[in-house]
Amino acid sequence: MRSYDDFMTLINEAIRENVSNEEERLRLEKIVLGFRDDQANIMIVGGTGVGADPETINIDRYEMGNLVLWDTPGLGHGVNEDKRYKENIVNKLMERDSSGEHLLIDLVLVIVDASNCDTGTSYELIDLVLNSYAHKDRIIIGLNQCDMAMKGRFWNFRENRPEPQLTDFLKQKVDSIQRRIRDTNNLDIEPVYYSAGYTDGKESQKPYNISRLFYLIVKNLKSLKAVMVACRKSRDSGNFERDDNNDGGAGYRRKTESSMLDKVRDALGGSHHQYLQRDLMDKVCDVLVYVFEKAFYTFTVVTTTVSNVCSSVARFFRSWW
């Protein structure tokens, strides 16, 4: 599975082979055509040094096929600068797409530095997003650099996982942020801790808990926009192997697969789901299961080399997958 376009081609083939009623077939093909030309827009928000580019003043846009990444400014440079940065973020979060019917941004990832004891800027960003973005169920809070949360202590570098002491510390951070959001905003959002990994010359470290973060992105994106994120090929199949389930990524893989199947069913069925031929949905499910069984560990968000991109968000996604 090389691309989102390949996936949509398979769905079209399944429709043509299994739907005999011409009117129904044309209706489904029209739905697929609409999704083929659509884009998934993901905004990355973070304080300085956790994934957002500290030199960015405006919000930068990076288009990679059906996936669009919005790189937001990093906070923490001064009162006047931060005020402008916040205004830019709020305006983008409230911006409508070309149809005027939907918000442009499909999902927001708020990145918090797990190693930083100063939570003021983090809560400021979280509140900014929660108060400005209408789709509260499409907000993910990620605690990056979980391996450095205790300054590198209790991280098993050989096995690329936290020891129990660090796991307990990270869970306390998650609980603290989750409780604060619940008390302040009356919302229940559970942050996910992870490490994006790194490559520095001859030294490198694989990501940790990316399979869970990937699952949350797929789960929270609406409709087939989740497929736009998923249908990318990674250069390293080991990026999904370590997570907080300690099962080689199998658990989050099953959850991701189930979420994708539900989204395809909903996208093709809609309000007329009961009229879909069972054989068609079985064929579509076979396609998705094949994709996950053969290519899950090679999925990625970013595959294209973006020339002259200095943005740390681009580096962040490359190191992810």
- 14-25 pLDDT, tens per residue? 778 777 888 888
Q: Determine the average pLDDT of the residues in 221-226.
A: 81
| More confident site: 265 or 94 | 94
Residue 172: the pLDDT is 96
- Give the model's confidence band at 175: pLDDT under 50 very low, under 70 low, under 90 confident, else very high: very high
| More confident site: 306 or 269 | 269
Residue 184: the pLDDT is 93
In 3D space, the residue among 53, 168, 189 whose CA is nearest the CA of residue 126 turns out to be 189
Radius of gyration of the chain (CA): 20
Q: Determine the average pLDDT of the residues in 137-143.
A: 95
Q: Residues with Cβ < 8 Å from 24, sequence gap 6 or more? A: 275, 277
Q: Quick one: tokens of 225?
A: 């926009």
Q: How many angstroms separate the CA atoms of 176 and 141, rounded?
A: 13
Burial of 254 (0-12, 13-18, 19+ CB in 10 A): middle
Positive/negative CA dihedral, 260, 105, 93, 96: negative
Residue 272: the pLDDT is 44
Tens digit of each residue's pLDDT (9 = 90 or more) over 95-131:
999 989 999 999 999 999 998 877 788 899 999 999 9
Position 91 pLDDT exceeds 50: yes
- Any idea where the domains of the chain sit in the sequence? 4-320
Q: How many angstroms separate the CA atoms of 256 and 142, rounded?
A: 18
Chain position carrying tokens 């650099």? 145
Q: Residues with Cβ < 8 Å from 251, sequence gap 6 or more? A: 243, 245
Question: What's the mean pLDDT when you consider all of the chain?
Answer: 78
Q: How many angstroms separate the CA atoms of 306 and 44, rounded?
A: 17
Position 151 pLDDT exceeds 90: yes
Q: Quick one: tokens of 209?
A: 């808990």
Q: Determine the average pLDDT of the residues in 256-274.
A: 69
The answer to whether 229 touches 210, Cβ cutoff 8 Å, is: no
In 3D space, the residue among 181, 264, 250, 187 whose CA is nearest the CA of residue 215 turns out to be 250
Residue 224: the pLDDT is 76
Residue 7: the pLDDT is 72
Burial 120-143 (b: 16+ CB within 10 A, else e): ebbeebbebbbeebeeeebbbbbb
Q: How many angstroms separate the CA atoms of 47 and 75, rounded?
A: 5
Q: In 3-state terms, what secondary structure has residue 6?
A: helix
Question: The whole model's pTM is what?
Answer: 0.82
Q: Determine the average pLDDT of the residues in 149-156.
A: 96
Pairing of strands 155-156, 161-162: antiparallel
Angle at 231 between CA 229 and CA 233, to 5 degrees: 110
Residue 48: the pLDDT is 56
Chain position carrying tokens 């846009």? 61
Residue 200: the pLDDT is 78
Q: In 3-state terms, what secondary structure has residue 153?
A: coil
DSSP H or E segment with residue 44: strand 40-46
Task: State CA 182 to chain mean position distance.
Answer: 22
- Give the model's confidence band at 12: pLDDT under 50 very low, under 70 low, under 90 confident, else very high: confident
